[in-house]
Chain A
Amino acid sequence: MPGSQTRKAVKVSKVDDSAVAIDALVKRYPGAPANAVDELFLEVRPGEIFGLLGPNGAGKSTTIGILTTRVIPTGGTATVLGVDVVAHPVAARRLLGVVPQVNNLDRSLNAWQNLVFHAAYHGVPRALRKARATELMESFGLTGRGRDSVNTYSGGMAQRLLIARALMHDPRVLFLDEPTTGLDPQARLFVWDRIRELRAAGVTIVLTTHDMDEAADLSDRVGIIDHGKLLALDTVHALTRGLEGKSMLDITIARLPGPAARELPDVLALPDVPALPDLLELPDVPLGLLELPDVLAGVDGVERVERVESAPAVRGGPGGAPPFGPPRPAAAPAGPATGETRFRLYVSRDPAAVLGPVAQLLARRGCPITDVQIGEPSLEDVFIALTGRSLR
């Protein structure tokens, strides 16, 4: 049974005081051929920012729908701060706030009214809801736009108002379904700041996003789901570290050592790649361009070496290599024209640990290193490795 596989693959400790706990959750929409959520296990800790990731149609919004009492699950349990959302939806709604994926502001009301009525629905006393609305309009940069119809709001403003509205009743768990989709960089940074402030204030945050950098930056932990199942749940660091042998080291060398003749294949070619200790004991013999990759590949921990022709690292690399996150582009272009050559080393160990021997080796061979970049696998690499490259 697939569900039990998930249970084995991902250890989810059931903590009683978790902010969100999902256990074997199943949702099949009427008439749908497959489960939208399929034996999902999740646990969100109090006070953390939890990133829920997954390809289109993975079941993220459905999961949030269940947690926010709008979707009734077919099976399993889901709790928010210990409150079963199916058995006690009213109690759960007091504790949570939602920013949905699509704008559902009350278009019959102006912006200010959207805020105060939301608070009124939640029983916030009148004087407090006015103070709260003023405060939130200000902190979301909407001061002076309160009387405007929400129909006149731009997408980014509406998104900010949606978040402000969700905060009007001071929820302890906030669900944000793609809160930054369609925002400009300023608004995105602004929303990130607000989200971090909320975490500092003790609010637990569950957010979905398709922006892997955002998820990596913002989340304390992420869960990756696909086809309604949990594929991975951990900190971003642990997930990327899990991609063994997937780190990269980009080394740029100022100029090729020795005369041009050394570039001929038969000159000083090493028939076998020598083991590193032997190599290090060799006299300092300059090497040619063609030997270098093989020599570098002999360094312990280096799995593969590629010569990168053009300076800006290209995602995916040549030769159909897997799409690892690129190192930051170099400031100056390197390449044959400038007498610089760049090699990309795929390493199975910590790239920093490999750098020492590599630098030593190159120094002995008279190849000055002008630039070093360590390319860690990104969350996107983890995501693609887990969910594949096919379009949904």
Chain B
Amino acid sequence: MSVSAQAAVRRGVSPLRVVLAILWRDAVVTWRDIISVLAQVVLQPLVMLFIFVGVLGRLAYVDPSYDDVLLPGVVAMSGFVAALQAVALPLMMEFGYTKEIEDRLLAPVPISLVGLEKVLAAALRALFAAAVTLPAGMLIVQDATFRVDGLPLLVLSVLLGGWAAGAIGLIIGTLLPPSKVGIMFALIIAPMLFTGGTQYPWPSLGKLPWFQVLTALNPMTYASEGVRAALEPQVPHIEPWISMVVLTGSCVVLTAIGMVSFRRRSLT
């Protein structure tokens, strides 16, 4: 190899460049499987929207104004699920079976940064999933109004929600062996999807205090509330600043736990 390349390697490379290279790898892999990624992350929320609004709404089982509740909820959920799935499942496989993460673990950066990259990638995937789900959802509920003013809050909510979900995925993916995939879906992901404020505004849960407390423990609730405040501010919602503060705090704590867990899983 030429002297300059040698020199570049020996001098050391900035951790940011390494993380960006790994991020680029994840982008290439995602793009290669774009169809199945889309199917995984946006189909389920859209089906939910279709059943509740397109079917039950038409049959008058559900109030027409419910789409103002559900559409933002579904956008938040698609981002959250996309982020969680981008990390948890691949990590379980890469650590447990394919070992393909090992090459990245040998990159000249602290190992926990390789874990952090996963969370970053997850947050970006959340944004992408939400960006696909929102227009598709608007088509399904036949509501063409988009509140441009709410865009910054929308993006922030989806990003922070995706970040928190990615960190949860990091924890799950490094703690569970691949044989426990079924358990992960049944005992962790499914309950999270129904306690995350997708199908109801959190303030309206006052009549069910125990459930209100339970949902308050799920970071996804704050992403849903944030997206709802951004898109349909007339629906009752948690003050956006509270949601963002709680989400940020969750991100910090979950990411720290996830990075430690990732390091422990990477080293024996």
Interface residues of A (CB under 8 A from B): 29, 65, 68-72, 89-91, 93-95, 98, 100, 102-109, 113-114, 117-118, 120-125, 128-129, 131-132, 165, 169-170
How big is the B interface, by class? 35 or more
Q: Is B1 an interface residue (CB 8 A)?
A: yes
Per a CB cutoff under 8 Å, which of B28, B29, B107, B110 touches A121? Answer: B107
CB–CB A109/B28 < 8 A: yes
What 1/0 flags go to B28-72 for Cβ under 8 Å of A? 110010000000000000000000000000000000000000000
Chain A residues in 8 Å Cβ range of B24: 117, 120
A113 to B100, CA, bound (A): 13
| Contacts A108-B32, A108-B100, A124-B9 given; does A70 touch B107 at CB 8 Å | no
User: Shortest Cβ distance from A246 into chain B, in angstroms?
Assistant: 40
| Contacts A109-B25, A170-B1, A170-B5 given; does A70 touch B267 at CB 8 Å | yes
CB–CB B12/A123 < 8 A: yes
What 18 new A-B contacts, CB under 8 Å, besides A123-B8, A123-B18?
A72-B268, A89-B111, A90-B12, A91-B12, A93-B106, A94-B108, A104-B98, A105-B103, A121-B106, A121-B107, A122-B107, A124-B5, A124-B8, A125-B8, A128-B5, A128-B8, A129-B5, A170-B9
Q: Is B145 an interface residue (CB 8 A)?
A: no
CB–CB B18/A70 < 8 A: no
CB–CB B18/A132 < 8 A: no
| Contacts A93-B106, A113-B28 given; does A120 touch B100 at CB 8 Å | no
User: Shortest Cβ distance from A305 into chain B, in angstroms?
Assistant: 53
Chain B residues in 8 Å Cβ range of A131: 2
A284 to B17, CA, bound (A): 86
CB–CB A71/B25 < 8 A: no
CB–CB B109/A90 < 8 A: yes
A125 to B7, CA, bound (A): 11
Chain A residues in 8 Å Cβ range of B21: 117, 120-121
Q: Is B234 an interface residue (CB 8 A)?
A: no
Per a CB cutoff under 8 Å, which of A71, A94, A113, A128 touches B10? Answer: A94
Residue of B nearest to A201 (CB): B1
A69 to B104, CA, bound (A): 13
Per a CB cutoff under 8 Å, which of B100, B106, B109, B110 touches A107? Answer: B100
Between-chain CB contacts (< 8 Å), 27 pairs: A68-B106, A70-B106, A70-B266, A70-B267, A72-B267, A90-B109, A93-B106, A98-B106, A102-B99, A104-B98, A104-B102, A105-B100, A114-B103, A120-B24, A121-B21, A121-B108, A122-B9, A122-B108, A123-B13, A123-B17, A123-B108, A124-B8, A125-B4, A128-B1, A128-B4, A129-B5, A170-B9
A32 to B137, CA, bound (A): 54
Chain B residues in 8 Å Cβ range of A118: 103
Chain B residues in 8 Å Cβ range of A98: 106
Chain A residues in 8 Å Cβ range of B260: none
CB–CB A90/B110 < 8 A: yes
Q: Is B176 an interface residue (CB 8 A)?
A: no
| Contacts A109-B28, A120-B21, A132-B5 given; does A69 touch B100 at CB 8 Å | no
| Contacts A71-B267, A108-B32, A170-B5 given; does A94 touch B12 at CB 8 Å | yes
